[in-house]
């Protein structure tokens, strides 16, 4: 009445990936240094704008909530990309390197636009 389920192709567990080498860790850290430095400077600028708006008597809540919203949306997008099925098959160090390359332009271009305006 019901067809039999096919046997699994292999019952052996998947091989564990090799641990990351020092060169890979250094490369990923180098890739992430630039966007994190740009994000920290942008965070400093947001806090300075909030401080100046509070000193002038205006409420800094809208500036701070807007910045927190952008960070939350970016973190959610990166988390979704990190756990996406095509990237799930790769080694975690390679995933972090790929995410660093994907993230790299956004804070750098934003910082450049802030400096040019």
pTM: 0.74
User: Of 38, 39, 61, 37, nearest to 49 (Cα)?
Assistant: 61
Reply yes or no on whether the pLDDT at 2 is more than 70. no
**pLDDT 10s digits, 15-67:** 777 788 899 999 999 999 999 999 999 999 999 999 999 999 999 998 899 88
User: Of 116, 87, 59, nearest to 51 (Cα)?
Assistant: 59
User: What is the average pLDDT value for the chain, to the nearest integer?
Assistant: 87
Average pLDDT over residues 4-25: 75
């Amino acid at each position: 009445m019901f067809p039999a389920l096919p046997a699994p192709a292999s019952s052996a567990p998947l091989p564990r990936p090799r641990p990351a080498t020092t060169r890979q860790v250094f490369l990923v850290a180098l890739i992430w240094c630039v966007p994190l430095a740009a994000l920290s400077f942008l965070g400093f600028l947001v806090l300075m704008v909030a401080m100046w708006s509070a000193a002038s008597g205006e409420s800094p809540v809208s500036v701070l909530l807007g910045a927190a919203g952008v960070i939350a949306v970016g973190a959610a997008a990166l988390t979704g990309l990190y756990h996406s099925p095509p990237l799930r098959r790769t080694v975690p160090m390679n995933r972090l390197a790929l995410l660093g390359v994907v993230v790299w332009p956004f804070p750098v271009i934003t910082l450049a636009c802030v400096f040019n305006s």
